[in-house]
Structure 1
Amino acid sequence: MPTYVYEVIKPDGTPGERFEVIQRMSDPVLTTHPETGEPVRKVITAAHFSGKWSDAEAKRTLNDDKRLGELGFTKYVKSSKGTYEKRAGDGPDLISAD
């Protein structure tokens, strides 16, 4: 189930304490704090996805020409002015602006 962030609305309208609530997506949005009864609003936050992917893994995967080809990408590297040689994937071996 997703975790949602809410914040208390102070009497002057400014944001107060933030807290998290685990709710079903089908549950109604909270309008009051579950413990204190103070008015609250839902806070939009960036999604968090857990997993083993990291920046280091991305660099390792995307710098491996064989792996790029397996993933369906084609990689070209500039060899001279207006000329690119294929290093991975399908497609022509050479692309030239001539």
Structure 2
Amino acid sequence: MPIYVYEEILPDGSGGEPFEVIQPMSAAALTTHPDTGKPVRRVLSAPNAPRAWTDAHGKAAMTDKNLASKGFTKYVKSGDGSYEKTAGDGPKQIKR
């Protein structure tokens, strides 16, 4: 589940103390602070994409075989401006 950043809305409309909440993507944005009940708004922030994802059993989830089984295509840079497919469907090579 993603981590969302929220901030309290101060009486003058400016942003107050930020806090983080782990929520499903399908959940509606919070409108009040879960502890204080004060009004809040969601803050845009950079996405968090870990480089070494693992599954529930600690095995690498980003293997070529696993990516292909989930419908992803992976390309690896093979030269100046060209990429070769290592997993999934699609052209064998992409050139710039």
TM-score by length of 1: 0.54
Post-superposition shift, 1:49? 1.3
Deviation at 1:50, TM superposition (A): 1.3
Q: Quick one: which amino acid aligns to residue 2 of structure 1?
A: P
Alpha-carbon distance change, 72 to 13 in structure 1, aligned in 2, over 3 angstroms: closer
Residue correspondences, number: 60
How far off its partner does 1:23 sit?
0.3
Structure 2 matches for 1:1-98, cutoff 5 A? 1-52=1-52, 71=76, 73-75=78-80
One-letter code aligned to 1:25:
M
Secondary structure of the equivalent of 1:73?
Answer: strand
Deviation sequence 1:32-81 (CA, Å, 0-9, x none): 000000000000001121125xxxxxxxxxxxxxxxxxx353339xxxxx
Higher fraction of helix: 1
- Can you give the 5+ residue segments of structure 2 that lack an aligned partner in the other structure? 53-75, 82-96
TM-score by length of 2: 0.55
Alignment identity in percent?
53
Matched residue SS, 2:78: coil
